[in-house]
Amino acid sequence: MARPARPSDAAEQSELAQLVDLVRSTVPPVHPAGLPFIAGGLGLAAAGRRHRWVRTAGLAAASASALFFRHPPRVPPTRPGVIVAPADGRVTLIEKVVPPAELNLSTEPMTRISIFLSVFDAHVQRAPVAGEVVTIKYQPGKFGSAERDEASTHNERNSVWIRTPDGVDVVAVQIAGLIARRIVCSAKVGDKLELGETYGLIRFGSRLDTYFPEDAHVLVEIGQRAVAGETVLAELTR
């Protein structure tokens, strides 16, 4: 017959459960694209377990990869008609420009908000609006500094055009930078994305441009920090 749990056993189990919940809430999950990098670092640490500097380098590489590829949970706003930040980072540009030519979207100017991601930001990308993916266009290009204005037209990029249920067109553009050399996009034409849903990632420093109708009410300023999936960039007028 099984021994009934003592009060101390129940208390220990409760404390353990609380610790597990604390770890889960404090340490964010990792994007699947980062798992090979983390595994590589851990493998190096295991292979060099008898050599302190090799072990330390492997553990440091695994930790840095886990930090870079973190995929923290986010809670999008519930009010209708909002455009949220597609990436963590700093707002660097707010301007009226023609959308990327490769989309053949329109020659009418749209509002563009640029967000620069440093290597310390979470690098997953999230849908700025809920809607259907109309077009995805990859454009080869240079790997200049993503902070420069010309990065929007000269750098390698991947554009995702989303149409909301109300027929509003919004475009999110992943732009590679000096260090970022790999753009990952899991979305496909015809996909229905939820507001704030993860759809891509750029490795090691980059920029996200968001294009939307110029009559939308912009709610951020240059220099402001944005949180992907939560910070409201603008409100649509329809």
Q: Which residues are catalytic?
A: 206
Residue type, position 76, single letter? P
Quote the CA–CA distance of 154 and 183 in Å, as a whole number: 15
Q: Say if residues 69 and 33 touch (Cβ distance below 8 Å).
A: yes
Q: Could you count the other beta carbons within 10 Å of the beta carbon of residue 85?
A: 28
Percentage helix, strand, coil, to 5, in the chain? 25, 30, 45
Burial annotation 97-129 (CB, 10 A radius, 16+ → b, else e): bebbeebebeeeebbbbbbbbeeebbbbbbbbb
Residue 75 DSSP class: -
What is the spatial distance between Cα 186 and Cα 31, in angstroms, rounded to a whole number? 12
Sequence-distant (6+) residues with CB within 8 A of 138 are 157, 158, 159, 183, 185
